[in-house]
Structure 1
Amino acid sequence: MGWTTAWALLHLYVVAVGFSNAIFWLTYYVPNYEFGFVRRGLGGEIISWLPDSCYFPAAYTLLWASTVVWLTVVAVFMRRATSAGVGCARRTMLALAIPVLPFALSYALYSPHPELFGMSALLAYILGLTRCQTLRATAYLSATYGSVTAVLALLHEAIPLQMALGAVLAIVVLPKETTRAAKRLCAALAVGPGLLSTLAVAAFGHRDVAAKLCGQLPHGNIDNPWAVTKTPGAAVDYLLGRIESQTDFHDWVCENALPILDADTNAAMGLVAGYGVARLLGSFLLGLIFFLGTMWIVRYLSAVPIRVLLSTLKSNPILVAVAAALFVPIFATGVDWTRWWIIVSADVELVYIAYAITRPEIERATSHRTVTVFMWVVMALAVLPLGAANNVGV
């Protein structure tokens, strides 16, 4: 645990001080509704309620709130993993492995996208399902989760699509003594509102507001490492504080970020198509390796075979397939194919872990080899900033 904590502090220093990429992450909270309904406008709208002098403190608060909320829910999940049954070595190892998985601590620090709020809601939903004892409670919880994702779609329109697979898997796998029809109802309550909200954003969001939004952005210098780190040597120099680089937030966002708001789906698909087959394939394969590798880690530490998890899906295979298919438009309109796989990993493995900690297999005795593998895996994943991987080529 000390090793993980030490590296977590080092990663925190890198993203907060040494190589801050806040100038990019803050762009998610720039749009607002002053000039009409736009996609991703909720964050900026919240900031607009405050005085202009509070713009940057409010924007940074929203940015890092996503990280804090996500890590808090992850900590609760770790606690749940160790207390789900009789204390045993496998439960402890699995709990300690959770924060070093690519979608946990590393992702929270290196990729603080708004979807962290969606991931937090999903994990809270998973934790809630493990406590529900009646269909009524499960339905109410599902409806609440669906309402939350509907609101989060106003923060980023992809969140309901990204979290649908995890929500459907959770409702299919976790509740006991629930009929097939009841699970479908709860899945509709959990996923439906968010999808409707995403469709509303796509249908009614204005596409001609970038220039107007640019005019209301405040000026202020912000660290911009990308302007001076064109070579590995320059990146090291910047990380060590030998060189500095700042850019005016207003000018950078107006030039690099706001034009995206005016782009439509066809333009996004054209960008993906122009990225190149080799880079897309490399990004896809790297993400797939992350997914398969972390699935193996969960299986190895918990001793719960993947086929046992898959057997629970037989009652609703079409429901799961439809939820998985919602990732198709995400892959089609964004080049971050490695990151999409990391989110798929979160959807699947959070449910896998929640299911595994209740299975009798997890109480099997561990061998010296299992403990050794666990230690090496945790040490390696704690060091590697896998959550920073978006794609291959950028």
Structure 2
Amino acid sequence: MPSAAVDTGSRRGFFITFTALLLFWAAVLVTLAITVVPDGYWYSYFAIDYSVGFIRRGLAGEMLDLFGAAHYFGGLAVLRWIPTVAFVLGLAGVAWSVAVRSGRSQRRRLTALLIPVLPFGFAFALFSARTDLLGGAALALFAVLLTRVATRATVMASAVFGLTLAVLTLIHEATPFLFGLGVLSALTVLARHLDAKAFWTSVVAALGPPVLVALALAAFGRQKVSPQLCQLVQHGPMNHPLAGKPTIGQLLSGFHYYVDYHDWFCRAFLPLFDMTFGEGVRFVGSIGVVALAGSTVYGLATLLIGMLAISHVAGVPVRRFTAILRGRPLAMLVGIVMILPVFATGVDWVRWWVIIAFDLGVVFLLYTRNQPEIDEPPTRRTLIVFAVGAILLAVIPIGIIPGFGAPVPM
């Protein structure tokens, strides 16, 4: 009995210590994001509106217009954080569902503490703060909801989610293609009570509206309007350290170099925005086989590390999870095919793999909540591997690298 008390006390100390370290790590990352990493690139996702007609990503710019011309850069500074905050809240919802809503155990707490340091975790939300993260947040909350509803409610929830994703597609046109695999995986694994008819009805309700919006953007969205869009962007200083060609030491010390935001946006961002589908394919091809192959290997390793980390901490075998996915091979094929156009037209191949890891990882995390292993006490080896692995993932955030070989917008 005394030894059990000591063991319980030592494990309580472990959780308290690790939680404190996790909070400190998160505070350091936020400080770096605010003081060192320039926000100008994230601003670009909100600088385009519908002033020149129906175009992709125009809804994000309409959000900026709510702040008024006098608060242009203040509005951008606020909007830049919306994808990050939304995505973190989505991850928090998953952690809450695993560690609190479905029961309490030490493994559940360990699994929840693992989520922030996963490749698609907190660092990814901070340093890959693009507007497609809004779709990731919606997927996380949709997956949590699927763990709580019955068949009829699943179809209704899918319809509401589909309309939400349709709106988010007007903010980032790749949203349904990036998270389609996650939607299909969530319906396959977390809504196993669905028969074939209800399953495909839910799929159509969840993915039909956003895909239709994306197709409408491709068919009717205005293209080659960069001169008009350039005129919408205000002049103002933007910190762009790389444009000053600093040394590594200067970068680490918080080196600042200011360029005019209007000039940078028109020179560096709009040519990428103005690309057609065919031009995007050629641009990806120009990166070269070596860089794309390197991104693929790195991305696959990132996916594998994330899934194995979840499996080890929760104690649930990955093969049991993948066996359920293989039960609906057509659905998985659709999810894989949906993300192929993103790889074909976007050079951030590591980023796409990290999002695939998110699609599958969030569903795997929620799947573990009802498995018997997660309520078994963790062994000392599990705690040691968890601590070492989590620290390595925190110190080396492998998910924030977008890809290899892509030119940096200068």
Separation in 1 of the partners of 2:66 and 2:127? 28
Q: Structure 2 counterpart of 1:212, which letter?
A: Q
Task: Give aligned-pair identity as a percent.
Answer: 34
Question: Does 1:64 find its partner at 2:77?
Answer: no
TM-score normalised according to structure 1 size? 0.95
Q: Structure 1 counterpart of 2:96, which letter?
A: R
Separation in 1 of the partners of 2:50 and 2:322? 44
Query: 1:115: which partner in 2?
Result: 132
Matches within 5 A, 1:145-224: 145-224=161-240
Matches within 5 A, 1:1-394: 1-18=19-36, 20-132=37-149, 134-230=150-246, 234-241=247-254, 243-394=255-406
Please state how far the C-alpha of 1:67 moved relative to its aligned partner. Answer: 0.7
Are 2:49 and 2:58, in contact at CA under 8 Å, matched by a contact in 1?
yes
Contiguous gaps of at least 5 residues in structure 1? none
Please state how far the C-alpha of 1:386 moved relative to its aligned partner. Answer: 2.4
Deviates more, 1:258-267 or 1:118-127: 258-267
Separation in 1 of the partners of 2:53 and 2:380? 62
Separation in 1 of the partners of 2:303 and 2:73? 36
What's the RMSD between the two structures over aligned residues? 1.4
Q: Structure 1 counterpart of 2:256, which letter?
A: E
Please state how far the C-alpha of 1:310 moved relative to its aligned partner. Answer: 2.1
Q: Secondary structure at the match of 1:222?
A: strand
Please state how far the C-alpha of 1:283 moved relative to its aligned partner. Answer: 0.7
Separation in 2 of the partners of 1:390 and 1:349? 19
Q: Deviations over 1:191-248 (max 9, x none)?
A: 1111111111111111121111111211110111111245xxx23313324x431111
Q: Structure 1 residues 229 and 88, CA, compared in 2 at 3 Å: closer, same or farther?
A: farther
Please state how far the C-alpha of 1:385 moved relative to its aligned partner. Answer: 2.8
Separation in 2 of the partners of 1:176 and 1:376? 35
TM-score normalised according to structure 2 size? 0.91
Please state how far the C-alpha of 1:176 moved relative to its aligned partner. Answer: 4.1
Query: 2:6: which partner in 1?
Result: none
Are 1:302 and 1:356, in contact at CA under 8 Å, matched by a contact in 2?
yes
Separation in 2 of the partners of 1:95 and 1:348? 16
Contiguous gaps of at least 5 residues in structure 2? 1-18
Separation in 1 of the partners of 2:390 and 2:43? 31
Please state how far the C-alpha of 1:88 moved relative to its aligned partner. Answer: 1.9
Separation in 1 of the partners of 2:42 and 2:193? 43
Moved over 3 A (4+): none
Alignment length (residue pairs): 388
Please state how far the C-alpha of 1:55 moved relative to its aligned partner. Answer: 1.2
Are 2:326 and 2:332, in contact at CA under 8 Å, matched by a contact in 1?
no
Q: Secondary structure at the match of 2:325?
A: coil
